[in-house]
Chains A and B, each alone.
Chain A
Amino acid sequence: MSLDNLISNWSKLRVRRPQVDQYKDSPYKWAMVIDLDSCTGCNACTTACYAENNLPVVGKKRFLEGQAMHWLRIERYWGEGEESTQEFPEQGAAFLPMMCQQCESAPCEIVCPVGATHHTPDGLNSQVYNRCIGSRYCSANCPYKVRYFNWYNYPESAWPSPLELQLSPDVTVRSKGVMEKCTFCVQRLTEAKSKARTEKRNVQDGEVVTACAQACPTSAIHFGNIADSSSTVAKMWKAQQVELSADKQKKDMKHEKMPAASEVASGVGASVEAEKLRGYRVFEELRTYPSVVYLERIRSGEV
């Protein structure tokens, strides 16, 4: 039986991912766009993530030891500030919300010895807690280091009674020794999909968002389905000329430069087409094909 399956489906089993138009026929491919220009580094997304996904708060000591469990972390980089007479001069801080990039060709997936992490049909990089044996190879191979390991048995200590009542019933509480990471709030996606299925339709744009996108006060995080070309996120990907299955984006050369100050002043640069293409994916050249597009920050000096 199994041999028969192997022979009859040979060509299908030899398909190598990712491909161009891989999600053309599938209803969903979840993706994100994060506008760094809007990000203020307020950490509301991180907090929302902790609340939504039952993340344990590890405490100051363990946080300093590097054992924090923030699936979504706000990274702060300091560039050069500027001397200015303004009341609030540019300090040079840059923020980057970093979570699992849900890579199409995820380095973590091929190295997991037990297949605890693999790809779902809607393009998520899933993590099966029950199957995980904790070899941490996925984390070692992750270029973004966004996988978090349960170093201790957090359910014992992280939510002293009655705090366990705050836990989301839709999300597993992970025990010690398993790897975990951002799931794009898969519990929300599942719920939305099953609701849509009962109503015999597809999930519509804006019907479901992740907790971080919901909590972001400046709407820097956009979440949606890029298999649906009419969704906001798909349009943003297209406008930024980011192709999911490319490791080097072929961008229109005329957009490579910022519009000159004179153009902005004359109103030419104000149109969307002339705006600098800001979209990039982190470590695209490593051929991980991430599902998160970041929009580069526009500094005040550049405008």
Chain B
Amino acid sequence: MSTVVEELDSIGERRFEPKAKDINEDIAWAKINTDVLRSLERPRPIFWVIFLSAVALFGVGVACEIYQYKTGLGVAELRNPHVWGLYISTFIFWIGMSHSGTLLSAILHIMHADWRKPIYRFAEAMTTFSLMTAGLFVLVHLGRVWQFYYVVAYPNERWTWPNFSSPLVWDATAIGSYLTTSVIFLYFGMIPDLAICRDSATGFRRTFYRLLSVGWQGTDRQWSNFRITYLTIACLLIPLAVSVHSIVATDFAVSQQPGWHTTSFPPYFVAGALYSGCAAIITLFIILRHTFRFEEYMTIPILEKLCKLTFAISMVWTYLNLIEYASTWYGTDVYAKQALIYRATGIYRYWWWAMNFLGSVVPFALAFKALRTHVPTMMVVSLLLNLGMWIERFMIVTPTFAHGYYPWTWSDVWWPNWIQIGIVAGSFGWFTLLFMLFCKIFPSVSMYEVKEMVYHRIRARK
């Protein structure tokens, strides 16, 4: 009897023995500062490779946009009824990506999940920059971009206002609020770290960081106000983030088209947003970890937790996806059912099946510890998941145009042309450009929170 227990014990011990190395709790705080501040200096050469290719991609996008701006949207081979094309699909993709930054920084903050601390800063930056990229798509897709400000409710002598019942105006309000709040949240959470940068910088950098750190000295009054303000903004940011993607979903759900007019769209979009965002965080996690030598802070156990989170969200997404299919299939709306059948069997069928495979089957790779802890595999898997989520957005927008209500507009073979693809590629360049610049200028690992984390872990150990 006792031998069995001993055996079980030994199995248990073996199983729960941490294999991968987490953050060293006894790390000197000065080392944290130097390690993170080093990322503001000389990164690995791969940084320049990424940065310059991002600039080149962005250049391609800008060239395409200039051509389209000068000639008209017709050069993008948009047409009736395919009036939106890739622009709106990619817009949703970028908006979606922004949501996980909030998940990590705000939701996990109020849930006291301390493993988020080394990685939330770059996730929050990802939120901000992917929102900026999404905003670009709104502009790119407008026919008369030079009059975009008509959407903004500004007082004017003619008493003309935007149409407040249009989901696009809700979008503008929601994305504007979200972008503003995200920038505030990102900046505000960075103030103690900016003070660290100020204290170790010289010359014009010192002036720059001094202005940004608004006289932070770490006094108890500053800290207590900081804590409450940060918590309050985090609490306000969570419902805001949920509302933003719900509102993006209403762009489709409020409209009448078959395949869009679905009440389950808002939660479906929010789940999809968190999903693609988490996958993107894994990708960026791996890139940053290597580029800026953050192996000691962005550790494998954190990657594992991220993967588990992504897996859970992917299952929520799969569930909502299946719910949508089921409710359409067993529902009475013949148009919606026909739209669903068209997605699965029409000319976009390969994409539809690829989306279901990448979105619902590939995440099972995250369920295996051996794969989860293997960095190159995770890079590939996270990219595949992102690809799947991008296709999901493409499959939401395009087949409804190809097979809407009106039979006269059916079976219209339409694929995006090089202008659209160029602009979409340019958006990836733009995002990477901003993100890499951010990581170069601002500390992408939160120094003070890593210190808090190791401090509390040591306290807990004692």
Contacts and interface: CB of A to CB of B under 8 A. Distances in A.
B18 interface: no
A67 B166 contact: no
Contacts of B143: 132-136, 149-150, 176-179
A65 B166 CA distance: 30
Nearest to B401: A140
A143 B256 contact: yes
Contact of A115 (B82, B160, B172): B160
B257 A141 contact: yes
A107 B166 contact: no
B72 A150 contact: yes
Contact of A136 (B84, B161, B169): B84
Interface in B388-426: 401, 404-409, 412
B72 A145 contact: no
Given A115-B160, A145-B408, A133 B73 contact: no
A153 B169 contact: no
A118 B160 CA distance: 13
A170 interface: no
Interface string B119-151: 000000000000000000000011111011011
Contacts of A132: 143-144
Question: Which of A65, A73, A114, A286 has the most chain B CB within a 10 Å cutoff?
Answer: A114
Nearest to A107: B256
Nearest to A153: B72
A67 B255 CA distance: 23
Chain B interface, DSSP helix/strand/loop, else mixed? loop
Contact of A151 (B74, B142, B412): B74
Given A113-B151, A133-B151, A140-B84, A65 B77 contact: yes
A112 B151 CA distance: 10
A197 interface: no
Contact of B405 (A77, A147, A150, A283): A283
Q: Chain A's interface: helix, strand, loop or mixed, by majority?
A: loop
Contact of B72 (A77, A135, A143, A151): A151
A111 interface: yes
A133 B72 contact: no
B165 interface: yes
B141 A135 contact: yes
A96 B412 CA distance: 19
A65 B79 contact: yes
Contacts of B150: 113-114, 131, 133
A196 interface: no
B83 A140 contact: yes
B81 interface: yes
A232 to B, nearest CB: 28
A111 B405 contact: no
B249 to A, nearest CB: 14
B71 interface: yes
A65 B144 CA distance: 22
B142 A133 contact: yes
A77 B408 CA distance: 8
Given A151-B74, A177-B143, A114 B151 contact: yes
A75 interface: yes
A46 B356 CA distance: 44
B162 interface: yes
B78 interface: yes
A141 B163 contact: no
B362 interface: no
Interface in B433-448: none
A81 B21 CA distance: 77
B254 interface: yes
Interface in A239-296: 283, 286
A68 B412 CA distance: 14
Nearest to B406: A145
A141 B255 contact: yes
A67 B74 contact: yes
B168 A111 contact: yes
B165 A134 contact: no
Given A113-B151, A139-B80, A143-B256, A131 B160 contact: yes
B241 to A, nearest CB: 22
A140 B168 contact: no
A162 interface: no
B167 interface: yes
Nearest to A58: B74
Interface string A56-100: 000000100111100001010100000000000000000010100
A55 to B, nearest CB: 14
Contacts of B72: 150-153, 176-177
A148 interface: yes
A177 B407 CA distance: 26
A66 B79 contact: yes
A115 B162 contact: yes
A294 to B, nearest CB: 14
Nearest to A143: B405
A286 B258 CA distance: 11
Given A140-B257, A145-B404, 7 more contacts: A67-B80, A111-B166, A115-B161, A134-B144, A135-B142, A137-B255, A149-B143
11 contacts: A107-B256, A111-B166, A113-B172, A133-B142, A133-B143, A135-B168, A136-B141, A136-B143, A143-B257, A150-B72, A177-B73
The 8 A-B pairs of least Cβ separation, nearest first, read: A134-B143, A151-B74, A177-B143, A66-B79, A113-B168, A115-B163, A177-B144, A136-B83
